[in-house]
Amino acid sequence: MKRLMLRLLVPALTLVVWEIAASGSARAPRPSTVMQTAVRMIANGDLLFGLATSLGRVFAGFALASAVAVPLGIAMGSIGALEKNLDPLVETFRPIAAIAILPLVILWLGTGSMSAVTIVAYAAFFPVLINTIAGVKRVEPNLLRAAYSMGVPPMTRMRVVLLPAALPAILVGMRIGLGLAWTAIIAAELAVGAKAGSSGGIGQMMFVFYAYSVELNGIVVCMVAVGIVALILDRVLRELLARAVPWSRA
Amino acid sequence: MNEAKISLDAISKSFGPVTSPVVAVDRLSLDIRAGEFLAIVGPSGCGKTTVLNMLAGLDKPSAGTMTLNGRPIEGPGAERGVMFQDYALFPWRTVRGNIEFGLIYGPAGQGLSSAARDERVSRIIELVGLNGSESKYPHQLSGGMRQRVALARLMANEPEILLMDEPLAALDAQTRIILQDELLRIWGQDRPASERRTVVFITHAIDEAVFLADRVVVLSSHPGRLKRIVDIDLPRPRGDATRKSAAFADLSQSIWELIRDEAYRATMN
Amino acid sequence: MASSFPTTAAPRRRLGGLLVYLRTMGLFVAAWFIVALNVPNKLLLPSPVDVALALRDSAMDGELFDNAAVSVVRLFVSVVAAAVVAVPLGLAMGRSRLCNDLFEVPVELLRPIAGIAWIPLALFIFGIGHRLPLFIMFYTAFFPLLIGTAAGARTVDERLVAAARTMGVPEHTIMRRVIVPAALPSILVSARLAVAASWTAVVAAELVGAPSGLGYAIEYYRSMLSTPSVMAFIAIIGLCGFLTDRALRRLGAVLTPWAQTEQAR
């Protein structure tokens, strides 16, 4: 009991201090006004619409990235020559953050969902690829040898031994990639929102609150929503990992 | 029963760059008889595992020929089953899933209906004493149980030859002794010699080799060469009484004396 | 038994790696050049030559260096500031139940809110200028450093601590001489993560709200529709990110030579 109270002490204090400190200025957001705005935004569906739009883009981009990164990672992890020759490309583009190529992507694809999905895919691509490669390389060689010695043909070995053995690492890569994808979409929508007004996502909503309606409470509500979704995505993927690959804990 | 099942003729294996190769095995010649239990011992670096890998077809000799039933060995095959150190069990498959793996995905299961396959797997599970653990996963099993799953997986393919690379090395001393007895039982030491499969068994524990084998091949190291082949004429079936016998102690001691100096040098340098 | 590698192997491997790098990137640039020839619209896909020229021009009139310096300095200042706060706090949280209980909840609540999501609010508080990117980068670097340090402090091999205690070493010395060195590899790994994350944040922050820096430059050139310059600056961002990562890896090798294993990625 005492531990629980200790844990809640700092957050509770912060909320109280914040409420009091902000009551001086009429426009400053504070816990009470934020709550009111949150209720309003949920009730009129704005918040959920924004989240759904952003999440839709995230999943689309993430699926696209994984569809390329996983097979490529398996190939690169299995064929040393392929990895050696493609590695320079990976290492050159990896340090270039997704957000840095956003202006380029906007130049090419405009300010709509296509750009957003592309940025998300780029952001999620590298963690998935790199973790898949590492996972494939870390597969215990005797597992493949055992199947080989039982006369199992190569393609079947890949499907039935390599893939399940590398799966824990691939899923870890996906968890990291999804987290980065979520951050990337917010950043992309913020940056695009600054140019194009708005078209739906949470990041764009935040920017509209900043630039047009000057609704600071709305901004805070969006920030909290961003945090909550990030938490949920992470937890869901951790659960998935624990369920799908229970042996990787042991 | 005494014709050669596998024949090694001046087998050599080198590793590393052509300019400065490391010779792991040097002109090893050996005949392995059908139905015998053959142990290979030697100090570290004598190429025991390399020889096994070549017998399994996972590696090719640099020189010399290896034949099985008169035909050259050209790669792995289900007729030569391998049991690896650390067992190499598939962690995502249950005990039953591991054992039936070779039958589902490899040539050994061809022509087998799924009912026949299930029946064979059940029989093997019974044989190695894993009833009741069929649905468990490897990470839920003890070392001794994992070893038996690996053995069962191997035997489900009904290989002619069993190749085992230090299978009991990862176990504690008590479990080892129990599993040595189990291994002999499963191999069929209580049954007539013609019903036994050929086993090539690598170990660095001399007493284990003497207890289990019909013959012990002693290799010297750096490079790996044949030092001596020792006939173990202890009567079968063997058990605790064998371990206490004077003949057992003498054989173990004489083999130890063959490799003691090399082992000393390897440890202290 | 004891295999001695010939001493020429290491430099030869590095040279080989460099050759592969040049070959692959050379092929890439060549393919780019060919594709660019077939795309007449220079806005859409400038050729590598155009980008190289843009790079040269920016380098020559100092713009490249000025903007890069601004971004790098911001990065350095924010990461160091974040480390100054996060590392001691992380050590405390890793070793003291009380500290952990006090701060765990706020950390876990704030962490998922990406630094980037703070930009609109921060724009209100700080306005456009230096403080915005600094704040965003500080925030972004803070959490990986805090959590990595806490994890490193928590997972110190307890037998090391026990060994020190049995020798009668006082607690605060144990912290300095046992816990910190033992946690250092983990701290440095999380520093690399923090720096990488901060690079992302700096571009986003400068893109939206700063009058200088690499992110600002990219956005400026985009609005001027000069794609070659946009690409040139993107390349520089990648280069800076790469160099800072390498620098940190070197630092790690120097400070913690005993822990240099799978830290490659």
Percent of chain C with pLDDT over 90: 18
Residue of A85, A62, A82 whose CA lies nearest to A72: A82
Mean pLDDT, chain C, whole residue set: 84
Residue ranges and CATH numbers for the domains of chain C are: 47-259 (1.10.3720.10)
For residues A142 and B66, what is the distance between their CA atoms, to the nearest angstrom? 23
- Please state, as a whole number, how many other Cβ atoms lie within 10 Å of the Cβ of residue A236: 12
Q: Are B68 and B9 in contact (CB under 8 A)?
A: no
Query: In this predicted structure, what is the pLDDT of residue C88?
Result: 93
Residue of C261, A153, A131, C20 whose CA lies nearest to B77: A153
Q: Provide the CATH number for the domain formed by B1-79+189-269 in this structure.
A: 3.40.50.300
Residues in chain C with CB shorter than 8 Å from the CB of B44 are 1
Instruction: List, for chain B, all residue ranges whose pLDDT scores fall below the cut of 50.
Output: 1-2
pLDDT in tens, A180-194: 999 999 888 887 765
pLDDT in tens, A17-66: 888 888 777 777 888 888 888 898 888 888 888 899 899 999 999 999 99
The helix (run of H) or strand (run of E) holding residue C65 is: helix C63-95
Range of weakest confidence among A4-8, C227-231, C238-242: A4-8
For residues C237 and A13, what is the distance between their CA atoms, to the nearest angstrom? 41
Determine the residue among C208, C226, C245 to mutate to test chain A binding: the one whose Cβ has the most chain A Cβ atoms within 10 Å: C208
For residues C48 and C45, what is the distance between their CA atoms, to the nearest angstrom? 9
Q: What is the DSSP letter of B193?
A: G
Q: Are C90 and C149 in contact (CB under 8 A)?
A: yes
Query: In this predicted structure, what is the pLDDT of residue B137?
Result: 92
Q: Which positions ≥6 away from C22 have C-beta within 8 Å?
A: none
CA distance C9 to chain B (A): 12
| β-sheet bridge partners, residue B165 | B202
Kindly report whether the peptide bond that precedes residue A11 is cis, defined as omega within 30 degrees of 0.
Answer: no
CA distance B215 to chain C (A): 28
Query: Does C21 have pLDDT greater than 80?
Result: yes
Secondary structure of residue B8 in the 3-state scheme: strand
Chain-chain contact of A145 with B57 (C-beta, under 8 angstroms): no
Percent of chain A with pLDDT over 70: 96
3-state secondary structure C183-199: HHHHHHHHHHHHHHHHH
Q: Which among C113, C123, C234 has the least Cβ separation from residue A101?
A: C234
Residues in chain A with CB shorter than 8 Å from the CB of C121 are 210, 216, 219-220, 223
Residues in chain A with CB shorter than 8 Å from the CB of B91 are 165, 247-248, 250
Query: In this predicted structure, what is the pLDDT of residue A15?
Result: 86
Query: In this predicted structure, what is the pLDDT of residue C36?
Result: 87
The helix (run of H) or strand (run of E) holding residue B165 is: strand B161-165
Residues in chain B with CB shorter than 8 Å from the CB of C1 are 44-45, 222, 266, 269
pTM, two decimals, is 0.83
CA distance B211 to chain A (A): 27
Q: Provide the token pair at A112.
A: 């709509």
Query: In this predicted structure, what is the pLDDT of residue A249?
Result: 59
C44 inside 8 A of chain B by CB: no
For residues A105 and A120, what is the distance between their CA atoms, to the nearest angstrom? 11
Q: Which among A107, A226, A228 has the least Cβ separation from residue C222?
A: A107
For chain A, positions 166-195, list CB contacts with chain C under 8 A.
182-183, 186-187, 190-191, 194
CA distance C3 to chain B (A): 10
Domain definitions of chain B by residue range:
1-79+189-269
Query: In this predicted structure, what is the pLDDT of residue C264?
Result: 45
For residues B90 and B110, what is the distance between their CA atoms, to the nearest angstrom? 21
A152-181 average pLDDT score: 92
pLDDT in tens, A94-105: 888 888 888 888
Query: Does C2 have pLDDT greater than 70?
Result: no
Query: In this predicted structure, what is the pLDDT of residue B141?
Result: 93
3-state secondary structure chain A: CHHHHHHHHHHHHHHHHHHHHHCCCCCCCCHHHHHHHHHHHHHCCHHHHHHHHHHHHHHHHHHHHHHHHHHHHHHHHHCHHHHHHHHHHHHHHCCCCHHHHHHHHHHHHCCCHHHHHHHHHHHHHHHHHHHHHHHHHCCCHHHHHHHHHCCCCHHHHHHHHHHHHHHHHHHHHHHHHHHHHHHHHHHHHHHHHHHHCCCCCHHHHHHHHHHCCCCHHHHHHHHHHHHHHHHHHHHHHHHHHHHHCHHHCC
Tell me the Ramachandran region of residue A45: left when phi exceeds 0, alpha when psi lies from -120 to 50, beta otherwise: left
Tell me which fold the domain A33-248 belongs to. Answer: MetI-like fold (1.10.3720)
